[in-house]
Structure 1
Amino acid sequence: GDTSSFHPYEKGGIVTQVKMPKTISFKSFRENFFTPTLLQMDFSKLHYPANLHLAYYTLSLFIDQQKRYPECGNSDDIQKFLNLANDVKQKFELDEIDGKLLTIFANIARAEIGPIDAIIGGIVAQEVMKACSGKFHPIVQWYYFDAIECLPNDHIFTTVPENCSRYQGQLIVFGEKFQDKLANLRYFVVGAGAIGCELLKNFAMMGLGNIIVTDMDLIEKSNLNRQFLFRPHNVQCSKSMVAAEVVRKMNPNLKIEAQDSRVGPETENIYNDSFFEKLDGVANALDNIEARTYMDRRCVYYRLPLLESGTLGTKGNTQVVVPYLTESYSSSQDPPEKSIPICTLKNFPNAIEHTLQWARDNFEGLFRQAAENATQFLKDPKFTERTLKLQGTQPLEILESVKAALVTDRPKDFFDCLKWARNHFESQYVNQIKQLLFNFPPDQLASSGQPFWSGPKRCPQPLEFDVNDSLHIDYIFAAANLKAEMYGIQQNRNRTEVIELVQKIEVPKFEPRSGVRIAENDSQLQMNNGVTLSQDRLVE
């Protein structure tokens, strides 16, 4: 927009990048067929998309003429297919065809492979989501996916009778010996979540001989949108048991055993030498690094292949680990994730991610960790002794949280819970900010001569509690009821009554104090935390 009428920039401010809509135009099928816009899938196969486009057109001509698909292993059919491709290649402005690629295509034209169908289905589903949301860039015009490298270079195709087996597609592509080998494999699938469901479905469709699946978790309602083997009536049932039951219906010949034990040192009496020595491989479907590295160590020890995979949003990764051929999963590690500095979270948040992390930490500290510490203090005679051995200010923080939970902030009724919530609001959103601005006034200069409140440091403003602000009341309402839940006090879900009670609470007036140290960065915070506390201070 036009900024010429703006006054000269002084300081601060927030810039929001607005992503402008993009209009994408598509040509019709007729317009784009002979002069296709092709999206590259693999830059080591630059000529593949054009040849595959030609191959599908040639296949349609072959079916029109012969009223059937080319027969796998039939040299006459394959030659007819190649001749047709050569006859029409000029329509696509192709000087030469890839004879080897088109020969493979003709041989496997009538085959359908479960895992390939799963990939194509995933791509199509993603395009539907793009169309519905308008959030991501769609595939423009033509996209061809292939996995030709799955076939050995010297692979020989043989004739496969029509409708000879539910695995006819795999027999056509990979041959009878390959299918027999699949039928005799024994695999251990670790995890039955989103990835585990996909693995089990594919293994069932492929005709894998024997599967053991384990998952200690129960199905939650939040799992249903992405763990497709589960239905609403399965909620609170064992993931592994339900998944095994569903894929057994998909393929009644499948031999699958469901277990609910976690993998780790504590279950090595179950997953012992005898167990691993009977396996042909392991497929991980885990959601944490600890379990992944443990299974990797077991696979290395027993010299078993490992299929490793993971997802993050719309992204995914796979790793195939083969003994004596590839590196193991633990041989390389991802760089550590960037963490948000604690000082930034406590005093100088400047991004939405900071507020999310702060809120989570605050919730854990108020409603889980404090209760756990108090419970341990009451039940474990050595809790205090163990706590006093911690470094820095940790002993004081833990003991103060115990004192608050059991003495100073312990509510007797719901009104006490409301008072605590109202005072906590004042502490978090008013008093702490006033103290911060007392230590670092809005016009303060840093040692460099630049304004202290500049760059990532954004000058805060204390809130003024307002019973007419629904967000303020939401906070008090939720905090008070959570506090009541912690102490087994009857809750009050009547918002009108809560508002009336809140207005009766007197909040102590706050005055900023001199001498309060606030760390400007994590280095100062560590120095503050490294201060040794006197025994007298801890006794207090």
Structure 2
Amino acid sequence: MEIEPTTEQHEIDEGLYSRQLYVLGHEAMRKMGSSNILIVGLKGLGVEIAKNIVLAGVKSVTLYDPETVKIADLATQFFLCEEDIGKSRDSVTAPRLAELNQYVPVSILKGELTNDKIRNYQVIVLTETPLTKQLEINDFTHANGIHFISTDVRENFVISDVTGENSLSGMIAAISKEEDGIVTCLDDTRHGLEDGEYVTFTEIKGMEELNDSEPRKIKIIGPYSFSIGDTSNFGNYITGGIFTQVKQPKTLPFVKSLTKPEFLVSDYGKFNRPGQLHLGFQALQSFVGKHGSFPRPHHEGDAEEILQLTKDFNEQCEEKTEIDDKIIKQLAYGAAGDLSPMVAVIGGLVAQEVLKACSGKFHPIHQFFYFDSLESLPDNLPQNPEEYAPCNSRYDGQIAVFGKQFQDNISNFRQFLVGAGAIGCEMLKNWAMMGLGTGSRGIIHITDMDTIEKSNLNRQFLFRPLDVGKLKSECAASAIAKMNPHTVSKINVYQDRVGPETENVFNDDFFESLDCVTNALDNVDARKYMDRRCVYFRKPLLESGTLGTKGNTQVVIPYLTESYSSSQDPPEKSIPICTLKNFPNAIEHTIQWARDLFEGLFKIPSENVNLYLSQPNFVESTIKQGGNAKEVLENISNSLVADKPYSFDHCVKWARFKFEEHYNNNIQQLLFNFPKDSITSSGTPFWSGPKRAPDPIVFDPENEIHLEFIITAANLHAFNYGESNIDYVKKILKEVSVPKFIPKSGVKIQVQENETIQQNTDESELRKIVHSLPEPSSIPGYRLNPVVFEKDDDTNYHIDFITAASNLRAMNYGIQCADRHKTKFIAGKIIPAIATTTALITGLVCLELYKIIGNKKTLEDYRNGFVNLALPFFGFSEPVAMPKAKYHESEWSLWDRFDIEGDLTLQEFLNYFANNHELEVTMLSCGVSMLYSFFLQGKRREERKNMKLSQLVETVSKKPIPPHVKALTLEMCVNDRNGEDVEVPYVRLVIR
């Protein structure tokens, strides 16, 4: 079967590919949509690559592997089952791959793998292919301009975007008129550019020759300035301007380089490994060519032969490599094995290389990449070769590397997976292939409260279109049970969010029964909570995350490493309020403003109305709080009286008045306060630097953006009241009369971020608003429908309203508008995601899991990782050691605590630390409840000292201790024997 080349492109389904589009962009996706891919070899690695490519959305995928399925294939090939044994790999794999993406046809290449049959593919990927065949196909693809991915070479590669990062841009403060043409940026913003890059310019006043000119090459002067060449013949710069980075294509040559290789280093702690492994893999191919199979697992004779072959290849090289006999022998010992985590790492990496070849986006590997995780092997491996011999098991590939006893340890492991999304799905697939938790003692617990959405299908490969709307945890468990029937009845499924409110579910007994916890979460708060629980129960934690082509892993090991919460990212930079309200200069500002407007129009007022109607004391408590009481009460009054619609006509009229208020009247008021020719006290124009002078917008019912605002706002307003209709918006608009706006004197406008505008509202004024409200008793049961923002429903008007509202504000201020896709990304705070990165990162996590199962003891055994597949870059390091503190002669870390059995009285507690540890407790708390302090005097002090601590906690907190709580966590301030304040661990007091 041959695939004819075609340029036909299907329409990009943004609902399916939304998260991936934010990684690759539309242009790269279109190129991928016209690429036909051939994948040769369908064991674990081949199917992992194919899975990721099909999910990504290429034009077609063709499979070639006529070999029959063997039971050993089940170690890593997740689309095979025991019933497939004896059938051809490609025939049983193709229909299951096709289920992943309706837009990607999957076919089979029949007959021999000849040059004539492969000439019409854009990319060819070889796995499980002899070196002689690799070299033959390499020569053909090189001559015919076909991208080839294996262990050798590819054709010249043109990269349209090396990094995939957004183009840099910034505002200009000045441009000199001289031979060097120095561009100076605003003082608070570094340009971030590098020597030799190109930029274009827009919105410059006074040196208009630069606006929209050809990209100009730059030379860096400093962090806030760069040279663009001769500007002496241009006009004089006056003000304004924005520079934008222009990415230039890069051509990367690939040549036949088996004897003079270039390496991408995967781990700089193993800098000498790639050269040795390059020779070792050639030795393996030579061994297979001679014997017809890989070396026998842990067979000393075969390993010695591989070592000698490696040294022979080394002698043929111009530059000799220092050979470590142990490393080459380890390569031989496990060469017959097949590990799902390693397949996931290499499969994700190679699949991304395929997408690069299709799209020209991101930098390819140049030219060889070797990766090992020898430290995942347990210490003191058994020497008996029989321990690693095949036993007709689906885990034979793993047994060949680790042995039967270690496989037993894997099967009896007890694991908790928090989250069944993209990382969770890949994790479960790997665990199913590994046989994790399938033994008599073993178990896997999964929790995820979310349901499956269409956008999940692009990267959460355990789910299918028919699963949309169902619970992720249940569908994921069902999917891996089909991959490995041994997991049936060995998976406990929950639909609970992890947090204090579910500690009755995930209680002490639950955590104490675990061997390890793996996070697959998408928010920091939940990660920190699970981190605290793992520290408390002293359980290993595997942490990971992805952001587009970037990914990271972190290992948290009791009594060895710091915890996840020990370090954290800097807080996200926020937009100043005055910028949002009055002085936006970037589309991000107008999108955030529109997002706030959405909440302020359609969510907050309705919530306040419902509180007013349901809580008798709401009005009085609002008046007492002051602050924005007037705004809250006016919102209620408007929602129940002035703006309450009695037909859809009223909703349209309301929307038309909101348009006039925000895009005309408020702008006129701002210009009334600060005319365009305003001068500051220092003599500089007020509207300069980051401040753009706005212009009011005159409403035009024929303008699509104007009309979109009215349609979406009217329908969302109607939704608040249980109505919806867009059939005659245009007709009603013609009948809406908007009064002329007259600017007001004395209106104060915030100019600086640290400036405060005092809003003193007399209580009598608030009472007048209250008297205008209908009594709740007069409208019993009446409630409004607050609009809860949902970014992924394309029919609910949410993103459409925010897009229109943001773009109108951008038009006010002369900012370039953003399409719906970009607006959704920013307003929805979407995390870009792609299946290739997810697969690779979960593979790295599972390699660390092997170490935990093997009870590795030293910091050097573990790896934290950071990966960027776009560059590509790999960085691995030892985890950070746990920090230590000291009191008296005792050293302690975050993993330590005082364990006390029995419900002591407060006095007994104080005596315990005084007598046993020479520590004077000066303060004692449980959560937010202060139980004891040195300044507590008199009767209360004596009463508390005689109370049991559990009783004291209930008395102070005024809440009973839940029955599932076995122990109290107490924190102390103490003085040491010298009377000095010192830090000490917390106390775990067992009360039940």
TM-score normalised by structure 2 residue count: 0.52
Say whether residues 1:102 and 2:335 are aligned partners: no
Say whether residues 1:275 and 2:510 are aligned partners: yes
Tell me the residue number matched to 1:139: 365
Tell me the residue number matched to 1:334: 569
Per-residue deviation, 1:153? 6.2
Q: Is the 8 A contact 2:411 2:435 kept in 1?
A: yes
Cα separation, 1, equivalents of 2:365 and 2:605: 51
Are residues 173 and 449 of structure 1, via their aligned partners in 2, closer, same or farther at CA, if it must alter by over 3 Å?
A: farther
Tell me the residue number matched to 1:52: 277
Q: Is the 8 A contact 2:276 2:321 kept in 1?
A: no
Say whether residues 1:128 and 2:354 are aligned partners: yes
Matches within 5 A, 1:425-440: 425-440=659-674
Q: Is the 8 A contact 2:446 2:493 kept in 1?
A: yes
Counterpart of 1:13 in structure 2: which amino acid? G
Are residues 517 and 34 of structure 1, via their aligned partners in 2, closer, same or farther at CA, if it must alter by over 3 Å?
A: same
Matches within 5 A, 1:106-117: 106-117=332-343
Choose the corresponding residue for 2:611, options 376, 379, 398. 376
Q: 3-state DSSP class of the match of 1:15?
A: strand
Are residues 416 and 166 of structure 1, via their aligned partners in 2, closer, same or farther at CA, if it must alter by over 3 Å?
A: same
Q: Is the 8 A contact 2:298 2:332 kept in 1?
A: no
Choose the corresponding residue for 2:483, options 250, 256, 259. 250
Cα separation, 1, equivalents of 2:297 and 2:619: 76
Are residues 294 and 96 of structure 1, via their aligned partners in 2, closer, same or farther at CA, if it must alter by over 3 Å?
A: closer
Per-residue deviation, 1:447? 3.5
CA deviations on 1:74-125 (whole Å, 9 max, x unpaired) are 1111111111111111444224223222111111112111011111122123
Say whether residues 1:174 and 2:409 are aligned partners: no
Structure 1 runs not aligned, ≥5 long? none
Tell me the residue number matched to 1:535: 763
Per-residue deviation, 1:532? 4.5
Q: Could you say which structure has the higher helix fraction?
A: 1
Q: Is the 8 A contact 2:623 2:763 kept in 1?
A: no
Per-residue deviation, 1:163? 5.6
Per-residue deviation, 1:287? 2.2
Matches within 5 A, 1:96-495: 96-152=322-378, 155=381, 158-159=384-385, 160-162=388-390, 164-209=392-437, 210-254=443-487, 255-390=490-625, 392=627, 394-492=628-726, 494=727
CA deviations on 1:502-528 (whole Å, 9 max, x unpaired) are 12211111122221111112211xx22
Say whether residues 1:512 and 2:747 are aligned partners: no
Say whether residues 1:40 and 2:265 are aligned partners: yes
Q: Is the 8 A contact 1:157 1:173 kept in 2?
A: no
TM-score normalised by structure 1 residue count: 0.93
Q: 3-state DSSP class of the match of 1:12?
A: coil
Per-residue deviation, 1:329? 2.0
Q: 3-state DSSP class of the match of 2:603?
A: helix
Cα separation, 1, equivalents of 2:763 and 2:427: 58
Higher alpha-carbon deviation: 163-172 or 419-428: 163-172
Counterpart of 2:276 in structure 1: which amino acid? N
Q: Is the 8 A contact 1:72 1:158 kept in 2?
A: no
Counterpart of 1:243 in structure 2: which amino acid? A
Q: Is the 8 A contact 1:157 1:172 kept in 2?
A: no
Structure 2 runs not aligned, ≥5 long? 1-213, 217-230, 438-442, 769-992
Are residues 420 and 157 of structure 1, via their aligned partners in 2, closer, same or farther at CA, if it must alter by over 3 Å?
A: farther
Q: Is the 8 A contact 1:264 1:291 kept in 2?
A: yes
Cα separation, 2, equivalents of 1:344 and 1:424: 21
Are residues 276 and 400 of structure 1, via their aligned partners in 2, closer, same or farther at CA, if it must alter by over 3 Å?
A: same
Per-residue deviation, 1:490? 4.0
Identity, % of aligned pairs?
54
Per-residue deviation, 1:150? 1.6
CA deviations on 1:53-77 (whole Å, 9 max, x unpaired) are 2221111111111221111221111
Counterpart of 1:138 in structure 2: which amino acid? P
Q: 3-state DSSP class of the match of 1:442?
A: coil
Counterpart of 2:292 in structure 1: which amino acid? K
Q: Is the 8 A contact 1:58 1:81 kept in 2?
A: yes
Q: Could you say which structure has the higher strand fraction?
A: 2
Are residues 513 and 129 of structure 1, via their aligned partners in 2, closer, same or farther at CA, if it must alter by over 3 Å?
A: farther
Tell me the residue number matched to 1:71: 296
Per-residue deviation, 1:370? 1.7
Are residues 96 and 251 of structure 1, via their aligned partners in 2, closer, same or farther at CA, if it must alter by over 3 Å?
A: same
CA deviations on 1:25-79 (whole Å, 9 max, x unpaired) are 322xxx2222222112222222222222222111111111122111122111111
Cα separation, 2, equivalents of 1:505 and 1:91: 87
Per-residue deviation, 1:416? 1.0
Per-residue deviation, 1:230? 0.9
Counterpart of 2:748 in structure 1: which amino acid? R
Per-residue deviation, 1:154? 5.1
Per-residue deviation, 1:420? 1.0
Q: Is the 8 A contact 2:452 2:468 kept in 1?
A: yes
Cα separation, 2, equivalents of 1:4 and 1:411: 63
Cα separation, 2, equivalents of 1:401 and 1:128: 55
Are residues 246 and 460 of structure 1, via their aligned partners in 2, closer, same or farther at CA, if it must alter by over 3 Å?
A: same
Q: Is the 8 A contact 1:26 1:141 kept in 2?
A: yes
Cα separation, 1, equivalents of 2:405 and 2:552: 30
Cα separation, 1, equivalents of 2:357 and 2:694: 40
Q: 3-state DSSP class of the match of 2:539?
A: coil
Cα separation, 2, equivalents of 1:446 and 1:57: 74
Q: 3-state DSSP class of the match of 1:468?
A: coil
Per-residue deviation, 1:213? 0.8
